[in-house]
Amino acid sequence: FADAVDVVTYEFENIDTVAIEILGRHGLVRPGLKALQIAQDRLQEKSFVAQLGGRTAPFAAVNSLDDLNTALGQIGTPAILKTNRFGYDGKGQVRITDADHASAAWDEIGRTPAILEGFVPFDQEYSVILVRGADGDIRFWDSPANVHIDGILATSTIPAGPVIEAQLQQARDLARTVADALDYVGVLTLEFFASAAGPVFNEMAPRLHNSGHWTIEGALTSQFENHIRAIC
C-alpha cells in the first residue's frame, strides 16, 4: 500500500502505531508517528505539554489501587480517573467525588493504567485548530466555543466571545510550540478550558477535528482542504 501512494494520512488516533511505523519506512506519513504516540496516551500527552510550559489540570499516573489512593491524597476530590489509552467522547473515565469510592472507580475502568486529573474550574471550553506545512508555516482558524453533552461535542460556536478571545493568544502560542516540537505536518487541534488563570490544556487531536467542521462552509479554506495541501 505504501509503495502505491505518495503520502499517507489518518483521521482517527486510535489506530495501531506499528502500522504507521511500517508505513513510514516505505513512504511518507503525515502527521508523523510521534504525534500519534503521544496523543494515544493521556499521561504522555499531559506530561509532554506540561514540559513545554503548558498549563494543565493537576495529574498523576495510576497503575494500581495504591497509586490511585496516593494520587487522591495529593490531588483531592472531585477528580476524574481516565484510562491512559482508547478513551474518547467520554469513554474510559469515571468521576470520583469521594476518596472512599477509589476501589469502585479502579474496578470500573478495568484496573488498567490510568491518569487521575483534578477538576478545573472553568467558564467555557474551546479549541485551537491549526494547520502546519512541512516548511513550518502555520495558519490558525477562528477558535469556537465548544459545548459537550455526556462527553461528546454538541455545538461549536463562532465568534467564541470575549472570555475566550481574551486568552486566545496564549493558547495559540502553546499550540504553535506543540506543533513545532512535533515537527507536525497537517491539521492539529488542541482543546482548552477557559479558566480565571488563563488557558488550561485538556487534550490534543493529531487530525481533522469535529470542532472544525464549520470551516467547510464558514472559512475561505476548510480544514480538509488545508490538511491535504499541507501533507502534499
pLDDT tens sequence across 68-80 = 999 999 999 999 9
pLDDT at 91 over 80: no
Over the stretch 3-49, which tens digit does the pLDDT of each residue have? Answer: 899 999 999 888 899 999 999 998 899 999 999 999 999 999 999 99
pLDDT at 218 over 80: yes
* Number of alpha carbons in the 13 Å side-chain half-sphere of residue 86: 7
Reduce the DSSP state of residue 146 to 3 states and report it: strand
Contacting residues for 83 by C-beta, under 8 A, at least 6 apart: 42, 92, 93, 109, 110, 112, 113, 114
Helix 168-181, helix 42-51: angle, nearest 10: 110
Task: List beta partners, residue 153.
Answer: 148
Residue type for position 17: T
Q: How many CB atoms lie within 10 A of CB 61?
A: 15
Over the stretch 140-156, which tens digit does the pLDDT of each residue have? Answer: 999 999 999 988 899 99
Take residue 23 and report the three cell numbers written for it.
508505513
Take residue 114 and report the three cell numbers written for it.
490510568
* Measured CA distances, 217 to 86, 221, 222, 227, 230 (Å): 31, 9, 8, 16, 20
Residue 93 pLDDT: 86
177: left (phi over 0), alpha (psi -120 to 50) or beta: alpha
Residue type for position 170: Q
pLDDT at 87 over 70: no
Reduce the DSSP state of residue 180 to 3 states and report it: helix
pLDDT at 89 over 60: no
Burial 84-97 (b: 16+ CB within 10 A, else e): beebeeeebbbebe
Please report which residue ranges of 28-126 form alpha helices under DSSP H: 33-39, 42-51, 65-75, 102-108
How confident is the model over 208-222, as a mean pLDDT? 96
> Is 61 in contact with 42 (CB distance < 8 Å)?
no
